[in-house]
Structure 1
Amino acid sequence: MSGLLGRLGGWCARHGRAVLGLWVLAAVLLTAGSVLFPGPVSNNVSIPGTDAQRAHDLMRDGFGPGFDPGGTVQIVLYSPDGPLTAQRRVRAVHRAMDRIREVPHVVEVETPYRVGGLAPSMEIGMITVKLEGHDNSKLAETTKRLSEAAEPVRALGIEAVPADASTPADKEIKTGTSEVIGVICALLVLLFAFGTLVAAMIPIFTALVSIATGLGVISLLGHIVDVPKQASIMATMIGLGVGIDYALFLLSRHRKLLADGVPVHEAVRRVVGSSGGAVVFAGGTVVIALSALMLAGFPLLRTLGWITGISVVCAVLTSVTLVPALFGMLGHRINALRLPFMGRRGSHGASSGWASLGDWVAKRPWGVLALSVAVLAALTAPALALKLGPLDDGYADRGTDQRRSYELLQAGFGPGMNGPLVVVADLETKIVDREPTPAVLQNLKDRVAAVDGMAHVADPILNDAGTAAMVRAVSDYSPSDPRALEVVEDVRAIRIEGATVHVGGEVAGMADASARIAERTPLVVGVVVLLSALLLLLAFRSPVVALKAALMNLVSLGAAFGALSLVFSMGLGSGLVGMDTPVDVDGSYLTTLFFSVPIDSYIPLMLFAVLFGLSMDYEVFLLTAVRQAYLRHGDNRRAVAQGLGSTGRVITSAALIMVAVFVAFIAYPDPMVKIFGVGLAVAIAVDATVIRGFLVPATMVLLGRYNWWCPAWLDRILPNLSIEGHDEEEEPVEEPRGELVGAARG
């Protein structure tokens, strides 16, 4: 593979202008296409085969307009100056309702002056709008028009906030400030590492081209598949980090070869043939880890995984084509515009500090191993207290419609109003006579109302065919309260003669999602670990190295989950990362920086996939350097020290960039992005320091030549896919024969 990549890199270097033009053209066209024809985004939380999905399917069957998920929008009203029942406010509400009826696809508008439409205080009420024939993917646009139609009540000082209780918001998570901060931080690190403005701008430029291309593809895919609203932000976070890192590794190696006097095009060929192979394999592990999410049994997570992988593929492609093209075009001008006092020491070779550390670790591996294990155990221990649960709109950014409507509904009607249950009974016998209320329907209502923690149960509604009945129920608990899940399970346990009870709604869907993810997590973890280990086995032809790398990545994950538990589950600084305190029952804010925040059940699995792939990047680059040194002289201890010394500086710079990018995203208002930012930043920091700087070198020294042991039978059947390559002037030594026969091959 190294030969093929080398030829590709050489061709791109010779045709730099054409390659650059094609990438820029692709980025511009895809970006323009995504702006002119933006694909819709969604949060398709359907989970085939679950009880909640069965309830939702029954809801679509003949219950009339507005009962289909996505067919109901609520406008929450709040009159701070007096009750909504005052005559002038009643007139304003009716004028608003008349204007709402004029909005396309509106088939029914329910007044807040109905039973259950006004809060006991009479200051908070709900206008319920039922839609039919609309496009669910454009529900955000429809909701905006409905909100604008409610202007007559705002003119009277009444607050009118749109809330959609039937489906999650379909508005895409926009990006902007966080990316700018991340890019600036990355540029500063690159300037410090290389000392020249031209060199520092190459990773930034290629990463931006890669992100623009990837985001354009993702946006246009929205016309074909359901693209989660989190897709763009996740693709940007991961794409920006790996895009800069991959270019950084290539750039560091290229500048060293130029400093050694290697001609430009020959240097490019060698860089792409050796370090380019490491980039391809590193990117491959990230894509494998993300693709394994397809086995999670959760459509949203499955789609989010492979779509995020698009940004990684773009980063790899730009690294092995656009980066060598820029190298060829710039030649020795890559070191132009040098900045004073920056990047001079160790810019082209192994940092003396990291080389000294490598020697120090190699001389005392047992002590380093014990200390590393102790530190990692302390960082991982809090993960035992990690608390998973639904993350509802009560934790949304303060000032948004989602947060404000949540607060108003909770203050007026109780916390359960933000997550009503939809109880659907599949009737065994068709009901023809609807009056008086059939016994099975009355029994259904009574049994649901008798469940502990149930605040209100509406009258049953029979579908047109008389084959199913629906009851809307409100519990005493908010969607993020674990007791709300207990209420769902209690309702599902109801047994009624002549009917089968199913429970849908937001809370029920969350419960089913958590159960499905918990069921599939061992499968996903096993597949990711095994496939990643197999990829490393093909790369380095060493079972020991492959299994050890997988184990080390799991260790860095433990540290990430420990940090998440400290910050969010234990609440030690959740306010410090910008999480808004939850609203109290009376509508007042809690004034504390320390409060517990639930973590959605899908986040740990998504974090696992992302972090496992990203951690493998540094493992691949470190092992590549160690193996190259080992093949030159056959001394394992010396090879480990040299590998750490030659890669320590660049891995540290890459990790600093990655951490800076992820920390920048912590400032983003969306809670999910904050959780990912904290977890990714901590994991990468720990991985690049404690694990790659101490634990991995110590274990490799202790394992000795068994690092590169490969059974003869396995060595014969493994394809030759070595990624490290060799410079022509560096001839590998003859590897001792015997049990270690496969070590020097590849």
Structure 2
Amino acid sequence: MSGFLYRVGWLAAGRPWRVIGAWVAALVVATALAMAWGGEPHDDYDAPGTASQRGTDLLRAEFPVLAEAQARVVLHTADGSRLAPEVITAVSARLAEVPDVILVSPPRPSADGDTALINVQYDRPVTDLGGTDAVDDLIEATRPAADAGVTAEFGGQVAENIQEVNGRAEAVGVGFALVILLVAFGSIVAAGVPLAVALIGLGIGSAGITLIAAGTDVSTIAPTLASMIGIGVGIDYALLLITRHVEGLRAGLTVREAAARANGTAGVSVLFAGVTVVLSLMGLRLVGLNTYVTTGFTTAAVVVTVVVTALTLVPALCGLAGTRLLGRRGRAALTADVGKASVAAAGSPARQTLTAAWAGRIGRRPLPWALGALLLLLLLAAPVLGMRTWPQDAGSQPESTYQRRAYDLVAAEYGPGANGPLMLAVDLRRVPAADLPALVTRIRATPDVAAVAPPVTSPSGNAAVVFVTPAVAPSDKRAADLVRHLRADVLPPGIEITGMTAVFTDLSGLLSDRLWWVVGFVVGVSLLLLTVVFRSPVVALKAAVMNMLSIAAAYGVVTAVFQWGWGAELLGLPHSVPMSSWLPVLMFTVLFGLSMDYEVFLLSRIREDYLTTGDPHGSVVRGLAATGRVISSAALIMIAVFAGFALDPDVTVKMVGVGMAVAVLVDATIIRMILVPATMALLGRANWWLPGWLDRILPHVDVHGTEPATIPTAPTAPTAEPSAVPTADAGLPGDVLPDVADQTSGSDKPAPVS
């Protein structure tokens, strides 16, 4: 693989315009195809096997008018005066003419007469109504109210299913990434290459998602998540390749040879890091919900596109840029050819880097540092013990949205439970109709029940429906407890509870149960992959444990911020909210893959040094020193991208952005800079222990590109290119590595390693 990627890099760097032209053409073609034949994201909220789904299926068969999408129109006078009957009548008549509306319920006035609630039923699922078009139709239908000075707000499934996509989060993330790259490289050209790679790869991948959406359901959150991950990993992968390329230039390689060798070494790490992310995303399939399945494979498709783009476009752009990637002072040093000292002076003072000094400090006293880092991670993760998950509803949205205003009006005028009524679907073939009056009486006497409507029988006589209004809001823990209590202690077999609150209760339970299946799959596959790549079960197990610690810390911080309300107002939320049920599974799969990116980058350098020197302690110090700056820069970029999504108006996207930004911050600081070097220093040669029987059956994968047969002899390089000057620099431009041999212990002689 290393030799193949070397040849890819050599060809791309030698013919940059052909490669760049091919990718630009691919972007244009993909965009044109998506515009011509692409589809729209479409959610599928069915949860096969759950009790609420059985109730929904019964309603679809016997009460189709109640089984599909539903909207709520709330009319309200701001001055508290009574609503004019003619306004309510006019609005109801116009609502009946809205496309796909099958029933408009009689208006329900509030006790003081200043509010009216009108329920609207559609003949198809909410995911088939065209998103914002359906809300626009409702707004147009309520024009008589607006003309009379009456406020109209919109809630229910139709209004709450709208996903606002304005690109602001992506723009903020890309802007911060550009600033970080400029500071890291000191060169506009070098900073532009990772952005170009990420945006082209993301553009093609996003067009692919649109084309996939034309043939199958693709979740509405998939494009947002794909953008988040695609931008982050695209910039990270390109950054790693460019850093290795610059090292080659400073070591005296020609531009083309440096690009090829970067592809043959760092490119292998990029490839395996991408494979790890893709495999982690495939774990979403185990959830069993179509929303997760489509989110997983579409985001994985974008990651694959970004990896291929990085491995071909980066060497092409590096070949085209020549020595301009070094910045003005770096090029001056190369042109002058004044030796190693000049190169050091051109970038930074010839002194020990902070990363190398830090690595040496950790290596000298690893046990206290390891214990301190572990305690800090456990402290950050502690709030997860009280974490409560719940799918986000209108009550979680900012007060500036019409969904939230409608929610608050309904709660104030009709009670909090009116925002999430329960529908009891009764199969009269199993439950005698004569038993329903006594059943209604028992339900009314149940705690946290505010009201129970009389049963309504279907035209066929095979089913009945009973509406139950809880006394608490849908997101209140007592609402879910009420659903479970009714099922377990009140309702006989043959009656299923459905409706938003029941569906959300089932989804939360389902996702909590399936999380452990996903965790087992993702951790197991990652353990296997890391054991194959680094030929060390100890390193693989340690990496998996540390990744889970960083994810647990992220869960804890998200719980404190959103559920406890520590910072909710800063994010535009009026009050604390439970963690979204979608979040734990989604965060785990994505973050485990992204954390493995940094693990692969760091361990590749450590093992590469260990194979050369046989020094287990010094290899950790030198490996961390060589990758510390690039990992820190990559992490800052990833944090900036994810933090940008915290500005998204959707609460779930906010949580994803905050959670992932925190996880990457923890991973790049506490894990990579403290816990990894400390534990590896403690374990010494045991890090690379491999049983003989396992050594014989494991395939040999050269992730470092250092085996003699892996990297071919370079073709004769053009002599017109300026020669670089050898240097010990292993960081980004301007970061010169010191001689750290005096900080290491153990033998410096190479030792044979399996």
Residue 30 of structure 1: aligned partner: 30
Give, as a single letter, the amino acid of the residue that structure 1 aligns with 2:300.
G
1:349 and 1:421 map into 2 onto residues whose CA distance is: 71
Residue 487 of structure 1: aligned partner: 482
Q: Does 2:153 correspond to 1:161?
A: yes
Q: Does 2:513 correspond to 1:524?
A: no
User: CA 1:340 to 1:458, structure 2 compared with 1: closer, same or farther past 3 Å?
Assistant: farther
Give, as a single letter, the amino acid of the residue that structure 2 aligns with 1:158.
V
Give, as a single letter, the amino acid of the residue that structure 2 aligns with 1:537.
T
Residue 75 of structure 2: aligned partner: 77
Residue 57 of structure 1: aligned partner: 57
Q: Deviation digits for residues 676-718 of structure 1, max 9, x if unmatched?
A: 2221112111111121111111111221112112112111111
Instruction: Give secondary structure in 1 for the equivalent of 2:7.
Output: helix
User: CA 1:598 to 1:501, structure 2 compared with 1: closer, same or farther past 3 Å?
Assistant: same
Instruction: Give secondary structure in 2 for the equivalent of 1:473.
Output: strand
Deviation (angstroms), 1:245: 0.6
Residue 352 of structure 1: aligned partner: 353
1:107 and 1:180 map into 2 onto residues whose CA distance is: 41
Give, as a single letter, the amino acid of the residue that structure 1 aligns with 2:753.
A
Residue 710 of structure 1: aligned partner: 690
User: CA 1:33 to 1:449, structure 2 compared with 1: closer, same or farther past 3 Å?
Assistant: farther
Give, as a single letter, the amino acid of the residue that structure 1 aligns with 2:134.
T
2:331 and 2:409 map into 1 onto residues whose CA distance is: 58
Residue 734 of structure 1: aligned partner: none
Give, as a single letter, the amino acid of the residue that structure 2 aligns with 1:152.
P
Using the TM superposition, name which of 201-210 and 676-685 deviates more.
676-685
2:207 and 2:82 map into 1 onto residues whose CA distance is: 47
Instruction: Give secondary structure in 1 for the equivalent of 2:215.
Output: coil
Deviation (angstroms), 1:201: 0.5
Residue 87 of structure 2: aligned partner: 92
1:671 and 1:708 map into 2 onto residues whose CA distance is: 44
Instruction: Give secondary structure in 2 for the equivalent of 1:222.
Output: helix
TM-score, reference length from structure 1: 0.89
- What RMSD over aligned residues (CA atoms) do the two structures have, in Å? 2.8
1:231 and 1:173 map into 2 onto residues whose CA distance is: 13
Contact 2:480–2:502, Cα closer than 8 Å, also in 1 = yes
Q: Deviation digits for residues 176-234 of structure 1, max 9, x if unmatched?
A: 22222211111111111111100010001111112212222222322222222221221
User: CA 1:127 to 1:38, structure 2 compared with 1: closer, same or farther past 3 Å?
Assistant: farther
Residue 322 of structure 1: aligned partner: 313
Residue 608 of structure 2: aligned partner: 628
Residue 137 of structure 1: aligned partner: 128
Higher RCO structure, 1 or 2 (CA under 8 Å, sep 6+): 2
Which residue among 643, 653, 660 is the counterpart of 1:680?
Answer: 660
Instruction: Give secondary structure in 2 for the equivalent of 1:598.
Output: coil
Deviation (angstroms), 1:654: 0.6
Instruction: Give secondary structure in 2 for the equivalent of 1:466.
Output: coil
Q: Deviation digits for residues 420-444 of structure 1, max 9, x if unmatched?
A: 111101122698xxxxxx4233334
Give, as a single letter, the amino acid of the residue that structure 2 aligns with 1:515.
G
User: CA 1:579 to 1:126, structure 2 compared with 1: closer, same or farther past 3 Å?
Assistant: same
Instruction: Give secondary structure in 2 for the equivalent of 1:486.
Output: helix
Q: Deviation digits for residues 263-307 of structure 1, max 9, x if unmatched?
A: 222222211111111011111111111111211233323332232
Instruction: Give secondary structure in 2 for the equivalent of 1:357.
Output: helix
Residue 243 of structure 1: aligned partner: 234
Deviation (angstroms), 1:409: 1.2
Deviation (angstroms), 1:154: 0.8
Contact 1:193–1:347, Cα closer than 8 Å, also in 2 = no
Deviation (angstroms), 1:131: 2.8
Give, as a single letter, the amino acid of the residue that structure 2 aligns with 1:631.
L
Q: Does 2:292 correspond to 1:294?
A: no
TM-score, reference length from structure 2: 0.88
Contact 2:397–2:404, Cα closer than 8 Å, also in 1 = yes
Which residue among 725, 728, 735 is the counterpart of 2:705?
Answer: 725
User: CA 1:511 to 1:346, structure 2 compared with 1: closer, same or farther past 3 Å?
Assistant: farther
User: CA 1:339 to 1:624, structure 2 compared with 1: closer, same or farther past 3 Å?
Assistant: closer
2:197 and 2:80 map into 1 onto residues whose CA distance is: 59
1:344 and 1:216 map into 2 onto residues whose CA distance is: 46
2:164 and 2:559 map into 1 onto residues whose CA distance is: 25
Residue 273 of structure 1: aligned partner: 264
Instruction: Give secondary structure in 2 for the equivalent of 1:212.
Output: helix
Using the TM superposition, name which of 327-336 and 403-412 deviates more.
327-336
Deviation (angstroms), 1:19: 2.3
Residue 531 of structure 2: aligned partner: 537
Which residue among 264, 278, 282 is the counterpart of 2:273?
Answer: 282
Q: Does 2:381 correspond to 1:383?
A: no
Residue 589 of structure 1: aligned partner: none
Q: Does 2:707 correspond to 1:698?
A: no
User: CA 1:155 to 1:317, structure 2 compared with 1: closer, same or farther past 3 Å?
Assistant: same
1:742 and 1:326 map into 2 onto residues whose CA distance is: 38
Give, as a single letter, the amino acid of the residue that structure 2 aligns with 1:15.
R
Contact 2:82–2:112, Cα closer than 8 Å, also in 1 = no
| Structure 1 unmatched runs, 5+ | 432-437, 582-595, 732-740
Instruction: Give secondary structure in 2 for the equivalent of 1:74.
Output: strand
Contact 2:159–2:403, Cα closer than 8 Å, also in 1 = no
Which residue among 639, 642, 646 is the counterpart of 2:622?
Answer: 642
Instruction: Give secondary structure in 2 for the equivalent of 1:223.
Output: helix
User: CA 1:192 to 1:412, structure 2 compared with 1: closer, same or farther past 3 Å?
Assistant: same
Q: Does 2:286 correspond to 1:306?
A: no
Give, as a single letter, the amino acid of the residue that structure 1 aligns with 2:73.
I
Instruction: Give secondary structure in 1 for the equivalent of 2:469.
Output: strand
User: CA 1:459 to 1:347, structure 2 compared with 1: closer, same or farther past 3 Å?
Assistant: farther
User: CA 1:345 to 1:59, structure 2 compared with 1: closer, same or farther past 3 Å?
Assistant: farther
Q: Does 2:188 correspond to 1:194?
A: no
Residue 753 of structure 2: aligned partner: 744
Contact 2:389–2:578, Cα closer than 8 Å, also in 1 = yes
Contact 2:68–2:122, Cα closer than 8 Å, also in 1 = no
Give, as a single letter, the amino acid of the residue that structure 2 aligns with 1:78.
H
Summarize the alignment of residues 296-445 of structure 1 with structure 2, pairs less than 5 Å apart.
296-335=287-326, 352-428=353-429, 438-445=433-440
Deviation (angstroms), 1:489: 1.4
Contact 2:62–2:462, Cα closer than 8 Å, also in 1 = no
| Structure 2 unmatched runs, 5+ | 333-343, 712-749
Residue 471 of structure 2: aligned partner: 476
Instruction: Give secondary structure in 2 for the equivalent of 1:92.
Output: helix
Using the TM superposition, name which of 446-455 and 468-477 deviates more.
446-455
Deviation (angstroms), 1:374: 2.8
Which residue among 508, 512, 519 is the counterpart of 2:506?
Answer: 512
2:117 and 2:485 map into 1 onto residues whose CA distance is: 28
Which residue among 452, 468, 471 is the counterpart of 1:457?
Answer: 452
Contact 2:614–2:751, Cα closer than 8 Å, also in 1 = no
Instruction: Give secondary structure in 2 for the equivalent of 1:67.
Output: helix
Give, as a single letter, the amino acid of the residue that structure 1 aligns with 2:693.
W
Give, as a single letter, the amino acid of the residue that structure 2 aligns with 1:394.
G
Tell me the matched-pair count: 705
Using the TM superposition, name which of 331-340 and 287-296 deviates more.
331-340
Deviation (angstroms), 1:146: 2.6
2:407 and 2:346 map into 1 onto residues whose CA distance is: 56
Deviation (angstroms), 1:450: 2.8
2:351 and 2:160 map into 1 onto residues whose CA distance is: 51
User: CA 1:409 to 1:611, structure 2 compared with 1: closer, same or farther past 3 Å?
Assistant: same
1:742 and 1:41 map into 2 onto residues whose CA distance is: 55
Q: Deviation digits for residues 467-498 of structure 1, max 9, x if unmatched?
A: 1111122111111100001111122235667x
Contact 1:712–1:742, Cα closer than 8 Å, also in 2 = no
Give, as a single letter, the amino acid of the residue that structure 2 aligns with 1:446.
T
Instruction: Give secondary structure in 1 for the equivalent of 2:152.
Output: strand
Instruction: Give secondary structure in 2 for the equivalent of 1:576.
Output: helix
Summarize the alignment of residues 609-628 of structure 1 with structure 2, pairs less than 5 Å apart.
609-628=589-608
Q: Does 2:573 correspond to 1:573?
A: no
Instruction: Give secondary structure in 1 for the equivalent of 2:180.
Output: helix
Which residue among 111, 120, 126 is the counterpart of 2:117?
Answer: 126
2:478 and 2:586 map into 1 onto residues whose CA distance is: 25
Which residue among 545, 549, 567 is the counterpart of 2:543?
Answer: 549
Instruction: Give secondary structure in 1 for the equivalent of 2:388.
Output: coil
Residue 215 of structure 1: aligned partner: 206
2:378 and 2:419 map into 1 onto residues whose CA distance is: 40
User: CA 1:404 to 1:644, structure 2 compared with 1: closer, same or farther past 3 Å?
Assistant: same
Residue 335 of structure 2: aligned partner: none
Deviation (angstroms), 1:571: 1.8
